[in-house]
Structure 1
Amino acid sequence: MSPADAAPAEPSAHADLVASLDLASKVRLLSGATTFTLWPEPSVGLRELRLSDGPTGVRGLKFSGGPAVALFPNATLLASAWDEEALREVGGMLAEEALAQGIHVVLGPTINLHRTALGGRLFEAFSEDPLLTGRLAAAYVSGMQSRGVAACLKHLVANESETARNTVNSVVDEATLREVYLLPFEIAAEDARAWSMMAAYNDVNGVPATEQHHVINEVVKGEWGWDGLVMSDWFATKSAAPAANGGLELVMPGPDGPWGEALVRAVEGGEVPEAAVDDHLRRLLLLAERVGALGAEPEAPQDLPAADSPQRVEQMTRLAASGMTVLTHRGPVLPLDPSLRITLVGRHALETVDMGGGSAHVNPVHEVSVAEGLAAVLGDALTVVDGVEVRDRPVPARTTWVTDPETGEPGTHSWLYARDGSLIEHRHNDEAQRVVGFDEDFAERVATVVTRARLGISGRVELGVIGAGEWQLQAGDHRAEASLRVVGTGLGEEILAPPSTFDTVELDGSTVVETTVRLVGSDRGADDPDAPPLEGVGMFGLIARPARRPAGDAIADAVAVVAGADVAVVVVGLTEEQETEAVDKTTLALPGEQDALVRAVAAAAPRTVVVVNAATPVLMPWLDEVDAVLWAGLPGQEGGHAVAAALLGRVEPAGRLVTTFPAADGASPAWSVTPVDGDLAYDEGPFLGHRGHHAGRAPEPLFWFGHGLGLSSWEWSDAALSATGTPTVRVTNTGPRRSREVVQAYLEPSGGYVRLAGWAAVTLEPGQSAAVEVPLDRRVQRTWDAAAGAWAPAPERPAGRLLLARGLGDVRATLELHAG
């Protein structure tokens, strides 16, 4: 199959428009105009298309410093509800957020799989299972595109970790690629007709994802008949002719890149058929038509909910709380009785982490901590005490601790200068950290940034700076200088993993701090003292916060307070140091002395509930010492309200795990994220996560995929297969509360691996029963015949077993299957 033969995108619809443009004009439209916009072409009625990052909110056209927007619960938390209607609602909400900003394409959902729990970017992706991921993604896409905003499935394909992400070669056999890693893309493309996809940074079996003729042309456009547009991840495209022939339509960002004149020459030299360029442009025009950027301009929607409106507060609270998962519950402690003396403990209670790091970051309209959320319900009856330090790296100053000395508003003030010393701009910053040089539209490059802030803290203070460059800092009598460089070589580390330094100083009263940084993007030229500064790109910020205390002192304070409580609620978790783009984890252990804090509180308090503020698995060496564990994910802007609703039973935390929790580091079918000689071998094949544990390829996990207790108890009976092979089972709510049950069906074919084949949910009052039918998805019953290079014929009824379960560790019924 030639590139031009791969499922042309409605050639008759836009052929005349394409034919009206010369080659250079066509090629120009196939690269971005700016970081997040595409070129208009008035001669064919094409207006500017606007794109935005979007897994947990529609940030807009700026990487930082953009408008305050809604911050959604993270993908794993949303997915844990196992509720397609909830994801359809999320898609519609994100579309409204996009429409409010004039955004046409939202870059999400992320539908890579949780291959290993070390993956730093798993918080953006739904689950370890391809069926669950695909169906939830299809619902998300349907909700979004029904409002005329395009979704973008990412990252195509085998892009499950961040280590060496720009150079890693994912080595995946064809059967595993088809049955596992391509399946979520297939489901979302087939069921929801997603309008765009994003090709990843990595190579797949030796070929860059942006040049994948096999995946993009032969499978996605050819076999699936998909008519959408494939864009590159930002800066991922490595070539002109191979990428254009490989099926890539759009290179991002712009205006510079590997196409332009190089692609024109490749076409003129016969390396790329002009028919391939024409098809790329037809797909771009089809996308523009779908989102209302081609032809007559649609009327702008009115009365969209504000990010902080009562409607959004209700939605965000309900969606986050519904996905929260009760992992253990010993004795009648949940829901919490508000008449009890409750003590809340932990740094995560006071500084709740509501989103992961990297391109998923947004400027939220507000964030509610767990302490604020519980205090809103319990008032003065709640006692709050800080916990141990949870970070190794310093973070930008909270706006509650810094004030713009020019405007008096929370935040800082910056002056941006060109190399000749002329002032480019000065501006107030709502945050103590900003990106400079990445998505600016200044006529000149920024060479120096001066920032001033008035500090609202005194005593022992950690004071320093973040970002690559030559720094000077002054605060009262304290002066410091630093030369900071990016250590790694990965793309975008100046923004995603900037270097930092700080000193611990004594400050008295209100102090104005001033920092000056001469921008240096990396070590390039660092050995040459006469080399001019690199007027580069970076994330620059001010560090200012009370100095950290010894862990022993923090634990002693917590123990003293909880001894007088009826219930202690300890909030522990991860931060953007572990859950972020560009960096993978090295362990599943909680950072700092959080495990010691939990154990000490559990020993001192009559009853202890642990809330885990993390999107991905953590180790729990204290599990047998506490009364209940609530996994809360990264709960978004209403995080504290959602945790309070879940703990107090105002919204049932009815989540089921979307990722298997290993019992120890390394105790999973796939573990390492580190390439060997450039290759990351997917040697476990299809046995990732629960599939590998069930097959005995890894030890018993701490918690199985699908596990979740809710706030009630259930009996199951009368499991059977219908005449069409559909499983049914009667479930009865035997507990005291209205509750939601999720019936999961796992297919275990003879000689094959176990896999989720379907699920269905029901909500019942106490004592009620209902028969639940679980439709099975035939796509997970297929097997790829490597010898034939095709799908093996699927039997009407495969031989094997069907497991009906409340999670793969709690199988309630086994139904034998006989081929037929």
Structure 2
Amino acid sequence: MDDATLDERLGRLTLERKVRLLTGATMFTLRGDDEIGLAPMAFSDGPTGVRGLDFTGGPLMSLFPNATLLASSWRTETAQEVGRLLAEEAERQHIHVVLGPTVNLHRSPLGGRLFEAYSEDPLLTGHLAAAYVSGMQSQGIGACVKHLVANESETERHGVDSVVDERTLRELYLLPFEIAVEDADPWSLMAAYNDVNGIPATEQGPVNNGIVKGEWDWRGLLMSDWFATRTAGPAANGGLDLVMPGPTGPWGPALVAAVQAGEVDEAVVDDHLRRLLLLAARVGAIDTPRAWRTDVPEPGGAVRREQLTRLAAEGMTVLENDGALPLTRGAPIALIGRPALETACMGGGSAAVRAPHEVSIADGLVGATDGVTVVDGVAVRVRPRAGDFRMRVRLYGASGALLSDAVSEEAKTVGFMPDQELPEPVTRVVLSAVVPAGAMRVGVLGVGTATVTIGSSTFDVTLDSESSDIGGDFLRPPGWQTDVVLSEPTELVADLTLGGWARLGLVAEPTPPTDDEAIAAAVAAAATAEVAVVVVGLTEEQETEAFDKSTLALPGRQDELVSAVAAAARRTVVVVNAATPVLMPWAGEVDAILWAGLPGQEGGHAVAAALLGDIEPAGRLVTSFPSADGASPAWDVTPTDGRLTYDEGVYVGYRGYAARRAPAPAYWFGQGLGYGEWEYGAVTLAGSVVSVELTNTSARDSREVVQVYLDPAEDDQPIRLAGWTTVDVAAGGSVTVEVTCDPRAARTWDDGAWRPLTTGRLLVARGLGDIRGEVALPG
């Protein structure tokens, strides 16, 4: 839609009608306007799946591997495919815009939401994001690159002031957005919750207007993160185009008044609306309604199973391997660990989706090879967890009236969004379900006071809010639980008087073994098997929106379990079911380590394929793994007096390790073994292209990721990734690999302008812990 057409539409609207369109209609939808041919639009959270308009419940949708795992393939082709597949998922639900990808960097490994983001490196992140956006928007579904900007932690996320110098902001945190804008033109961006150098992101004129809309000449729509907007005039003048969610917010009459008072020029409002109408035209929500596809593969069908298994397995990373991998099919295997039976397939928060299934590693490996004995492990959770069973939900209003009486067939929890249509506000909820006989752990999730009844036992429970974050208790609700022994199936009832906005659910699961019992059983099983496969990891308790971690140590006694098994087993393989770095004090005691990420709905199938060599786990790390808590260039995520200062500057991740600003990492960014063996030949440079002869010296076809790093000759210029390429090489084969270096990596922000870096050397490496060659820059 050209500018003249946009202006003609704007001319039909009064100021009040213009402003009305600039705040959401509901939690995830926008208003339409028949007079200008504008249809309502629908947004959905991403990027792990397209959940749709329901935060809990809702339709079944495909659950993808987490972004960090997908990024570990280092393949832009993978990111582009994921964008196309997510567009298909959006088509199924008539969603116009998917809220992703997340391009914030892995600044500190403690960040709770890192699993949604690609990496610690801005160049890798930017190229993957651009490919994802291109894939999605090629199908007519809008992408929303988020969260602009310096939004790398969750603690006090709604008010923290990220203090970042301009060079660091430009070279690191804005660069992924810049690459996505330049290379893929995303149709929308999202402004973050935090302040940046004292100015809220939703009012950040120097970034939003000066850089993004000015220097980059970007024409898309800048929306707020949900509930992030605090003001009318300052936000409108600061470049924000759309307030989410609705139907109320800080704009509406306040923005109309700001225009009438001269605080905001009506031309500013027109620009916001012009961008909204352009988005509508791009996604098929203006004039002729778009024809939604009806031939999308089923979320749990064979097509999605193949795609999601392959995508997950290809990103998994072999960190250690003393000949134990791949496993021999049919050999006696002791599969050990709670995460093997209860595999974490996704993180917590707004990225979660309701999947058709989540295949555990136990189910995947048992189904893929004979001779597998499955043994439970030590506890990995400390919080009560909602069960997945048929649950009756009765809602009552303040008047005592029954507002709803329904059965939740599959949803683990229930919740109420601010825009939910009910005759009156819900003040009391009664949850009930039948619990099977046996030793059971039962309980309730929510905020408020509850009476919990199971058989003849009654418990009075108070569940206090645990978060000052808006929605924190919704994303990770408080809970209570107790152990009971039931002689027959018994009804569990929780009568809860609400005390805050939180998700609600029932706990009902078999009482697990004690940790001592679990370790003893694991050691016994490991001693009789040919190989012990121990699965350890994190859960949505650590990897979640709204909460950061306090340690990289595995929860519970998982380290003790690994060491005990390694001492008893002939061979020990450890699978790490986590999206972000963990400490591995037992690394020298085991024969192989496979980092498996949060692998999505086909996780168990993908892990089995990687362990058995059916699909090569050819991933390379996208984040450096520190050797100890605190041993990283950037660590602290807790603000001091509301300020989180990025004191490390441009020395984030591998840049800081290479400059010796932290002890050497346990595993470097870019590190990964795959199942091949590689010989690198001479390195040459022609213009911006680095060439190297590469030979696969193994007996297996394999994939290599050839990485090129720029090591500038100037002081205070860290090593940085300059380019890379992935290549598949047959066993014994040789190829000439060419890597084009991106000029956006070979520059520095100096005295208000970009200056090229022309001296130094280019390193060819498999991560900076394994440099294979170098060539000098011509100067």
CA contact (8 A) 1:437 1:446 kept: no
CA contact (8 A) 1:11 1:279 kept: no
Match of 1:398 in 2: 388
Query: Residue type matched to 2:722 in 1?
Result: A
Deviation at 1:397, TM superposition (A): 1.6
Q: Does 1:387 align with 2:391?
A: no
Match of 1:748 in 2: 711
Deviation at 1:816, TM superposition (A): 1.3
Give the count of matched residue pairs.
776
Counterpart secondary structure, 2:29: coil
Q: Quick check: 575-584 or 480-489, which moved more? A: 480-489
Counterpart secondary structure, 1:611: strand
Q: Does 1:93 align with 2:85?
A: yes
Q: Does 1:120 align with 2:139?
A: no
Counterpart secondary structure, 2:178: helix
Cα deviation per residue 1:481-540 (whole Å; 9 max; x = unaligned)?
11222132111123023221122222222011111111111xxxxxxxxxxxxxxx3200
Supply the RMSD in Å over aligned alpha carbons.
Answer: 1.1
Match of 1:477 in 2: 456
Match of 1:805 in 2: 765
Query: Residue type matched to 1:434 in 2?
Result: V
Match of 2:413 in 1: 433
CA distance in 2, matches of 1:689, 1:394: 34
Q: Does 1:778 align with 2:743?
A: yes
Query: Residue type matched to 1:781 in 2?
Result: A
Match of 1:16 in 2: 8
Counterpart secondary structure, 1:563: helix
Structure 2 CA distance for partners of 1:439 and 1:376, relative to 1, 3 Å: farther
Counterparts of residues 343-742 of structure 1 (less than 5 Å)? 343-379=334-370, 381-399=371-389, 411-429=390-408, 430-459=410-439, 461-521=440-500, 537-722=501-686, 724-742=687-705
CA distance in 1, matches of 2:734, 2:404: 66
CA contact (8 A) 2:27 2:417 kept: no
Match of 1:525 in 2: none
Query: Residue type matched to 1:720 in 2?
Result: T
CA distance in 1, matches of 2:388, 2:287: 46
> Once superposed, which parts of structure 1, at least 4 consecutive aligned residues long, lie more than 4 Å away?
none
Q: TM-score, normalized by length of structure 2?
A: 0.99
Match of 2:222 in 1: 230
Cα deviation per residue 1:144-174 (whole Å; 9 max; x = unaligned)?
0000000000000000000010110000000
CA contact (8 A) 1:166 1:236 kept: yes
Structure 2 CA distance for partners of 1:237 and 1:457, relative to 1, 3 Å: farther
CA distance in 2, matches of 1:120, 1:349: 22
CA contact (8 A) 1:748 1:803 kept: yes
Cα deviation per residue 1:648-707 (whole Å; 9 max; x = unaligned)?
000000000000000000000000001011110001001000000001101110000000
CA distance in 2, matches of 1:718, 1:499: 59
CA distance in 1, matches of 2:417, 2:181: 36
CA distance in 2, matches of 1:756, 1:122: 20
Consecutive unaligned residues of structure 1, counting only runs of 5 or more, are 1-8, 400-410, 522-536
CA contact (8 A) 2:534 2:572 kept: yes
CA contact (8 A) 1:784 1:791 kept: yes
Query: Residue type matched to 2:14 in 1?
Result: D
Q: Quick check: 806-815 or 637-646, which moved more? A: 806-815
CA contact (8 A) 1:457 1:545 kept: no
CA contact (8 A) 1:326 1:628 kept: yes
Deviation at 1:295, TM superposition (A): 1.1
Match of 1:533 in 2: none
Consecutive unaligned residues of structure 2, counting only runs of 5 or more, are none
Counterparts of residues 242-257 of structure 1 (less than 5 Å)? 242-257=234-249
CA contact (8 A) 2:126 2:180 kept: yes
Match of 1:814 in 2: 774
Deviation at 1:10, TM superposition (A): 5.4
CA contact (8 A) 1:357 1:576 kept: yes
CA contact (8 A) 1:436 1:540 kept: no
Counterpart secondary structure, 1:555: helix
Q: Does 1:134 align with 2:136?
A: no
Deviation at 1:439, TM superposition (A): 4.7
CA distance in 2, matches of 1:292, 1:388: 52
CA distance in 2, matches of 1:426, 1:301: 34
Query: Residue type matched to 1:364 in 2?
Result: A
Counterpart secondary structure, 1:100: helix
CA contact (8 A) 1:199 1:210 kept: yes
Structure 2 CA distance for partners of 1:378 and 1:194, relative to 1, 3 Å: same
CA distance in 1, matches of 2:698, 2:234: 61
Query: Residue type matched to 2:333 in 1?
Result: I
Match of 2:52 in 1: 60
CA contact (8 A) 1:437 1:445 kept: no
Cα deviation per residue 1:696-738 (whole Å; 9 max; x = unaligned)?
101110000000000010000021112x242100110001100
CA distance in 2, matches of 1:493, 1:640: 30
CA distance in 1, matches of 2:601, 2:460: 37
CA contact (8 A) 1:438 1:538 kept: no
